[in-house]
Amino acid sequence: MSQAATQNQGAMATDAGLDVELRKVFKEFNREMAVQGIDLSIRRGEFFSILGPSGCGKTTTLRLIAGFELPSAGEVLIQNQSMNQVPPYRRPVNTVFQSYALFSHMTVWDNIAFGLRLKKQGKAAVQERVQEALKLVKMETFAHRYPAQLSGGQQQRVALARALVNRPTVLLLDEPLGALDLKLRKEMQMELSILHREVGLTFVMVTHDQEEAMSLSDRIAVMNHGKIEQIGSPKQIYDRPQTPFVADFIGDTNLFRGKVEGFHPAKLWVVTEHGLKMTAQPLESGKSAPVSGQVVLSIRPEKIRLSYRPSEGQVNCFEGRLKNVMYLGTHIHCVIELLSGDCVTIMQPNTVAKLPNADTPLYASWATEDCLALTV
């Protein structure tokens, strides 16, 4: 999987057609680098997300594509055309803004018709396409309201319709659901996903919500400190994080800092800071692992098994005591303090009838392939 994914990035570039490309793009604000040398290729028809914590440069990246910012260095291409000299109003992209930026002095109808009228479409064509867009977002009955008279979710739909009605090559979404409450957000995620399939456009979405990115996207770029940490499908990002940041940022994980003691093409032997000896899966099999190099081991909580006795022949098996339990409804999170002093979080289905007390010896174990060695 991981091999296919990484190769795709290069190979697909030429055949499937790219809608958006960023080549070594830098952006500096007041001597601070917001974006530091980003390379990005977004395929036609893809739902692509840029995910990262606030201040990571993801919104700047989107604004570079939209044209509201010009790169300090590097090049932005849309459908193989360099966009560096093209102002926002001539780019074949439309944006759904964070908190929508609807024109408060226009009705819903006029908001949606805004782009079409600028393009000197005939009256009948405007009429037809606005109607169509209203239908697409299920807002037909609100056509003559003003934005202030709509709820957040309704404004969101109008913003979507206003952008989509122009049939852009690429639709840019800047934290589109960020202002909505949880339930509405879930609903809109579903609708956004359906919409993407219906219109078949390239969507580029910026979000800090990993769940939103995971559930909607074909591929995700995880950004941190103005750089891309990893690009891949939600599964690759989750199962095969390539950096400790990605592993930590996406979902929950247990991280151990350690030193490589020895290696085998498919295995690494690592000793952690507190002296635990673990067998781990190298990041990319085939590549020579960094001997005596520093690595970070990542083990997902749901991959750890808990038992009352040490399992036979299991490599990564450590004794500990139950320290804390958190109920999460369908699951429980157990924190186990190992004899070394390290704590691991373990996720268990909420089926355990009775939990052991704090003095019962417990054994946490995980498979080699679930213990990922990430280079620092």
Partner 1 sequence: MSTQVPSSLVTQPDAHSDKESPRWLGPLVLLGPSGLWLGLLLVIPTLLIFELSLVPGIRPGDIVNPSGLDNYGLIFQPVYFRVIGRSLFFAFGTTFFALLLGFPVAYWIALIAPKQWRNLLLLSFVLPLWTSSLLRSYAWITILRPTGVLNSFLQLIGIPPLDLLNRSPAVLIGMSYSMLPYIVLVLYASLEKLDRRLLEAAADLGANPLQVFWKVTIPQSLPGIVAGALLVFITSLGDFVDPELLGGASSMTLARLIYNQFIGATQNWGFGSALSMILIFLVSLAIALLIKYGDRSQVV
- Which residues form the interface with partner 1 (CB under 8 A)? 66-68, 87-90, 93-95, 97, 99, 101-106, 114-115, 118-119, 146, 148, 162-163, 166
Number of H helices, E strands in the chain: 9, 20
Do 24 and 175 form a contact (C-beta atoms < 8 A)?
Answer: no
Q: What is the largest CA-CA distance in the chain?
A: 79
Which residue number, 95 or 156, has a Cβ lying nearer to partner 1?
95
Which residue number, 16 or 101, has a Cβ lying nearer to partner 1?
101
> Closest distance between partner 1 and the C-beta of residue 25, in Å?
19
Which residue number, 80 or 104, has a Cβ lying nearer to partner 1?
104
CB atoms within 10 A of CB 46: 22
Provide the token pair at 152. Answer: 């957040």
> Closest distance between partner 1 and the C-beta of residue 62, in Å?
11
Which residue number, 11 or 118, has a Cβ lying nearer to partner 1?
118
> Closest distance between partner 1 and the C-beta of residue 39, in Å?
25
Residue 67 vs residues 59, 87, 99: alpha-carbon distances, Å: 12, 6, 19
> Closest distance between partner 1 and the C-beta of residue 261, in Å?
55
Per-residue burial over 87-123, b if 16 or more Cβ lie within 10 Å, else e, is: eeeebebbbbbbebebeeeebbbbbbbbbbeeeebee
Which residue number, 26 or 97, has a Cβ lying nearer to partner 1?
97
Which residue number, 170 or 362, has a Cβ lying nearer to partner 1?
170
Q: Length of the chain in residues, anyone?
A: 376
Residue appearing with tokens 């690429």? 170
Local structure of 190: helix, strand or coil: helix
Alpha helices in the chain (DSSP H): 2-15, 58-66, 108-118, 123-136, 152-164, 182-199, 210-216, 234-239, 244-249
Do 295 and 280 form a contact (C-beta atoms < 8 A)?
Answer: yes
> Closest distance between partner 1 and the C-beta of residue 155, in Å?
13
Provide the token pair at 215. Answer: 């559930």
> Closest distance between partner 1 and the C-beta of residue 68, in Å?
5
111: nearest Cα among 62, 64, 150, 66: 150
Which residue number, 159 or 297, has a Cβ lying nearer to partner 1?
159
Which residue number, 116 or 373, has a Cβ lying nearer to partner 1?
116
> Closest distance between partner 1 and the C-beta of residue 147, in Å?
9
> Closest distance between partner 1 and the C-beta of residue 151, in Å?
17
